Amino acid sequence: MNHYAPWKNTLVVFFLFITSLYALPNIYGSDLAIQITGTGDYVVEENDLEGINNSLVENAIDFKSVELINSNILIRFNDSKSQLSSKALLKDTLSRNYVVALNLAPSVPQWLSGLGGKAMSLGLDLRGGVHFLLEVDMEAVVSTSIDRYYNELRTLLRKDKLYKKIRKEDNLLVASFKTEEQKNEAKKLIKNDLFDLRIVEGSESELEVSLEMSSNAQKAAKSSALNQNITTLRNRVNELGVAEPIIQQQGSERIVVQLPGVQDTARAKEILGAVATVEFRLVDEKNDVQTAIQSGKIPSGSKLYKFKDGRPLLLKTTVISTGENIVDASSSVDKDNNPMVSITLDNAGGRTMLETTKEFLGYRMAVVFIENQVETIIENGKTVKKRSKTQDIINAATIQGTFSNRFQITGLDSSREARNLALLLRAGSLSAPIEIIEERTIGPSLGADNIQKGLISVLVGFALVLVFMGWRYRVFGLVANVALTLNLITIVSILSMLQATLTLPGIAGIVLTVGMAVDANVLIFERIKEELRSTKNIQKAISAGYEKALLTIADANITTLIASLVLFSFGTGAIKGFAVTLSIGIITSMFTAIIVSRAMINLIYGGKKIEELSI
Amino acid sequence: MSLKSLNIPVINFVGNRKYALIFSTILLAVSIASIGFQGLKFGIDFTGGTLIELGYEKTADLEDIRSKLTSANYSGANVQYFGSDTEVLIQLEPQATTSAQLSSSIIRMLGDGIDVRRVEFVGPKVGEELTNDGGLAMLYALIGILIYVAFRFEYRFALGSIAALVHDVIITIGIFSLLQIEFDLTVLAAILAVIGYSLNDTIVVFDRIRENFLSTRHIEPGPIVNDALNQTLSRTLMTSLTTLIVLLALFYLGGEVIHSFAGALIIGVVIGTYSSIYVASSMILALGISKEDILPSEKEKKEIDARP
């Protein structure tokens, strides 16, 4: 009685060995590091490694090591001063094919990482960073699509002069006709060529028909807008230089962006949410802007624009080129120390620019800055989306000579503005306005505090429970303490193996598990005590105690698991972390408190003649 | 064999249950009244708004910060020390045009050289969603547990445990309302964990009641339930104590961010321990549990016999 078969003991020992091994990486801490990755299609390789190594050595920067792992170059440092100075150095020397980002790299020894050992990944509330939830303005997506269909519909029906008038009403296109035959003819054409549009049921009258986007077309437009925005955001985040960013879709119209370690959150906010682009237009030199304003008549082919300071100017409606033609942009200062942005256009953009500048030499060309903003505001207790579009002329300069794909924009307010504009133009524009609907930023100092406080509370709570259990249950208490320690190690090991993110609530989950995990042992020990009161056979009491408590433990833990599963499925990031560690802790505690503690009790008492139990 | 002969102290829990009933009724009435009249002090997770935690090198001048905010026309700003007098918490209710940019402009306005420890912005729509989701989560947890307990035990046990859980949740929320402690997302998580914990306790007692029904020839449910409560008492107290120990460590050492989370768990564990002794078992007695209900075969037979 009370004897485990050797294979069972071996299995327990083997299991504990494995979990301890994979919990080990967490004790090594981490190094300050810089991580260098390629942007877009560019992959960093052995050559880059050599170049970086050389430039660090040339500039006498003190670093620990530099290595290439999974197309990432990782440079480790001893102090933050050399980390920061080499970031500045590398940002200047490396081209834009590289992302240079500050990072923390776990310093797990080679042999351990060779076995796949990894430290737990820390959540934003522990390492510091920003969490954004962005919402894409889907109404704007549909509305833009309708604008496009409006043009397509007109082109389609114009060929045979079928329609009398087409107008846009909200998200509907209403087409009116001269005769019913024309209407039917048009319906046929639409059905064949514009199958994304469908007739609104019951809207058709004798000479009029309303069209809307089919739900499939709407869905496709929305999902493509979301995907395009994710791509653009990824480019922008690369420009910001962030190690291990997370950019992913959440639901059908939201995007989560997590930027670990970002310090300048104000800039991150400006950059991520900005829906800004530029347009190049010719100035209408033939008409006088003041007369146009006074008479209220804007000449056809022109449109009234304003400079940022409010000065009006008439610009031609035809656009020479837009932000979409820009392949590169960089900020610098001109000879008078004014901020400027140097632009490179693609071939198509360059060609039109060349033709225009040739034809309109001596005319002025204006750069219009366009920004779309969307905000959710509370109006009479209801949340409403407020959209605004600003179109400002940032400069209008005389075309002095012909140029094609390379030129500069000046007239910017500050070098910060120039930097941001260059970045936005490089990264591409968002296909639909987005709004930050949630932000959670944890500064690095609070992150470090959280780690320290979390660790202390785990350790203190743990130590107190150990003392308490030892005092109450003697030898059995010590066994429970070993089981509890192993449970803690197992939780850490499983979290590391799963690479689940550890958050502060996650640490709270571990603390709570420490308190609750002894429950299984308490149940067993109290049961053994009870059995001892009715039997003289000590071995039988131990065995009955374990057996009778088993079902209770299972029932009690399964219900707790149900609650934590609900937590997991509902919770946002941080709460998920709590649910994950709590669930893992409950499951591992069943193993350590029942099987491991039994193995130890068997080793201590099993098969021996015992007078009295120390319980 | 009676418990006395086994040298186990016997407390007449079942006999005292009318006092417990009065006690619980008062607690529930006060809680519901407070929630109804005073309401909860919801954090920005649920109301939406902006929260900024700043770290100063020296003692921060709250008046200065307040006057700066007022002169910049930010309405409804709540400025207070957070943890120590070098740390300041600024909370702003949703403004007419609340946006994520708000916090940046406030930080810029307050000047350079301040350590930005934490910024949270929750848009009005997100807050609304979190409130709905939170309510739903509570409901789902209760339903899931109801199904499991009914399946493992019997419907009276399921109703008994749900009664205990609802009791615990209402009183825990009631205390948050009474003391006007901020109720945020982590508190909600704590309450869901309390549901799990309190149930854990209740199940252990129920398990013992079932076992006792099956192993003794007593028919009277009262003494059987009382025996079960006494037999599990030392375990109930031990587990509550170890859990409370770690929670107190978390409460005092875990830092401000985790403070109300740990507080909610402490309240919940105390109430949950009480309810698993008094509320859940009183409930099943009130529902008229008897030995026949526990024996599955006989119960099924009875059901078949009862059919017309």
Tens of pLDDT along A281-334?
999 888 888 888 888 888 888 889 988 888 899 998 888 888 878 888 888 888
- pLDDT at position A381 over 80: no
Q: Does B170 lie in the same domain as B62?
A: no
Q: What is the pLDDT of residue A232?
A: 87
Report the residue of chain B nearest A535, measured CA to CA.
Answer: B6
Provide the pLDDT confidence category of residue B3 given band limits of 50, 70 and 90: low
Provide the pLDDT confidence category of residue B300 given band limits of 50, 70 and 90: very low
Q: Do B249 and A469 touch (CB under 8 A)?
A: no
**What single letter denotes the amino acid at residue A86?**
S
- pLDDT at position B297 over 60: no
Q: Do B118 and A446 touch (CB under 8 A)?
A: yes
Q: Do B249 and A460 touch (CB under 8 A)?
A: yes
Chain B residues with CB-CB distance to A375 below 8 A:
97, 99
Report the residue of chain A nearest B185, measured CA to CA.
Answer: A575
Q: What is the pLDDT of residue B96?
A: 62
Q: Does B131 lie in the same domain as B87?
A: no
| Percent of chain A residues past pLDDT 90, beyond the cut | 18
Enumerate domains of chain A plus CATH numbers.
6-24+445-605 (1.20.1640.10), 30-106 (3.30.70.260), 140-219 (3.90.1070), 274-438 (3.30.1360.200)
Q: Do B207 and A552 touch (CB under 8 A)?
A: yes
Angle between helices A573-590 and A504-534 (to 10 degrees): 30
Q: Do A515 and B243 touch (CB under 8 A)?
A: yes
Q: What is the pLDDT of residue A427?
A: 79
Higher pLDDT, A199 or B217: A199
Q: What is the pLDDT of residue B252?
A: 93
**pLDDT tens across B116-167, in order?**
889 999 888 888 888 888 888 888 888 888 888 888 888 888 889 889 999 9
- pLDDT at position A542 over 50: yes
Q: Does B179 lie in the same domain as B300?
A: yes
Which member of B123, B189, B252 has the closest CB to residue A575? B189
The count of domains in chain B is 2
Q: Do B192 and A557 touch (CB under 8 A)?
A: no
d(CA B304, CA B81): 68
| Mean pLDDT confidence for A158-171 | 79
| Mean pLDDT confidence for A246-254 | 90
Contact residues, A window 414-443, toward B, CB-based 8 Å cutoff: 435-443
- pLDDT at position A513 over 50: yes
Q: What is the pTM assigned to this prediction?
A: 0.81
Q: What is the pLDDT of residue A28?
A: 86
Q: Does B275 lie in the same domain as B164?
A: yes
Chain B residues with CB-CB distance to A125 below 8 A:
257
**pLDDT tens across B14-31, in order?**
888 889 999 999 999 999
Chain A contact probe: residue of B250, B265, B270 with most A CBs at under 10 A:
B250
- pLDDT at position B176 over 80: yes
| Mean pLDDT confidence for A532-547 | 88
Q: Does B140 lie in the same domain as B246?
A: yes
Q: Does B240 lie in the same domain as B179?
A: yes
Length of chain B: 308
Q: Do A461 and B145 touch (CB under 8 A)?
A: no
Domain that residue B279 falls in: 4-41+127-306
Chain B contact probe: residue of A137, A259, A376, A458 with most B CBs at under 10 A:
A376
Q: Does B176 lie in the same domain as B99?
A: no
Q: What is the pLDDT of residue A459?
A: 92
Provide the pLDDT confidence category of residue A419 given band limits of 50, 70 and 90: confident
Q: What is the pLDDT of residue B299?
A: 46
Q: Does B82 lie in the same domain as B33?
A: no
| Mean pLDDT confidence for B182-206 | 86
Q: Which of B71, B94, B122 is the last residue of a domain?
A: B122
* C-alpha torsion angle, residues B73, B78, B83, B85 (rounded to 10): 50
Question: How many angstroms from the chain centroid is the CA of residue A488?
Answer: 30
- The nearest CA of chain B is from the CA of A36 a distance in Å of 27
| Mean pLDDT confidence for B195-214 | 87
Q: Do B126 and A437 touch (CB under 8 A)?
A: yes
Report the residue of chain B nearest A518, measured CA to CA.
Answer: B239
Q: What is the DSSP string of chain B?
A: --TGGGT-----TTTTHHHHHHHHHHHHHHHHHIIIII--EE-HHHH-EEEEEEE-SS---HHHHHHHHHHTT--SEEEEEESEEEEEEEEEPPPTT--THHHHHHHHHH-SS-EEEEEEEE-HHHHHHHHHHHHHHHHHHHHHHHHHHHHHS-HHHHHHHHHHHHHHHHHHHHHHHHTT-EE-HHHHHHHHHHHHHHHHHHHHHHHHHHHHHHH-----HHHHHHHHHHHHHHHHHHHHHHHHHHHHHHHHHS-GGGHHHHHHHHHHHHHHHHHHHHHHHHHHHHTT--HHHH-HHHHHHHHHHH--
Q: Does B166 lie in the same domain as B33?
A: yes
This model of the complex carries an ipTM of: 0.86
Q: What is the pLDDT of residue B7?
A: 55
Q: What is the pLDDT of residue A600?
A: 92
Chain B contact probe: residue of A474, A567, A586, A590 with most B CBs at under 10 A:
A567
Q: Do A512 and B241 touch (CB under 8 A)?
A: no
Task: State both tokens at B275.
Answer: 């309810």
Which member of A516, A560, A570 has the closest CB to residue B137? A570
Average pLDDT, chain A: 86
Provide the pLDDT confidence category of residue B275 given band limits of 50, 70 and 90: very high
- pLDDT at position B51 over 50: yes
Q: Do B245 and A505 touch (CB under 8 A)?
A: no
CATH assignment at residue B101: 3.30.70.3400
Q: Which of B75, B96, B122 is the last residue of a domain?
A: B122
Q: Which of B122, B155, B187 is the last residue of a domain?
A: B122
Average pLDDT, chain B: 85
Q: What is the pLDDT of residue A40?
A: 64
Least confident of A47-51, B266-270, B271-275: A47-51
- pLDDT at position A97 over 80: no
Chain B residues with CB-CB distance to A507 below 8 A:
254
- The nearest CA of chain A is from the CA of B216 a distance in Å of 15
Task: State both tokens at A167.
Answer: 């107008």
Q: What is the pLDDT of residue B263?
A: 93
CATH assignment at residue B278: 1.20.1640.10
| Percent of chain A residues past pLDDT 70, beyond the cut | 98
Q: Tell me the count of A-B CB pairs closer than 8 A.
A: 250
Chain B residues with CB-CB distance to A454 below 8 A:
254-255, 258
Pairing of strands A364-379, A254-260: unpaired
Q: Does B279 lie in the same domain as B192?
A: yes
Q: Do A469 and B126 touch (CB under 8 A)?
A: no
- pLDDT at position B1 over 50: no
Q: Does B106 lie in the same domain as B215?
A: no
Q: What is the pLDDT of residue A448?
A: 87
Provide the pLDDT confidence category of residue A143 given band limits of 50, 70 and 90: confident
Q: Does B75 lie in the same domain as B115?
A: yes
- pLDDT at position A552 over 60: yes
Q: Do B242 and A469 touch (CB under 8 A)?
A: yes
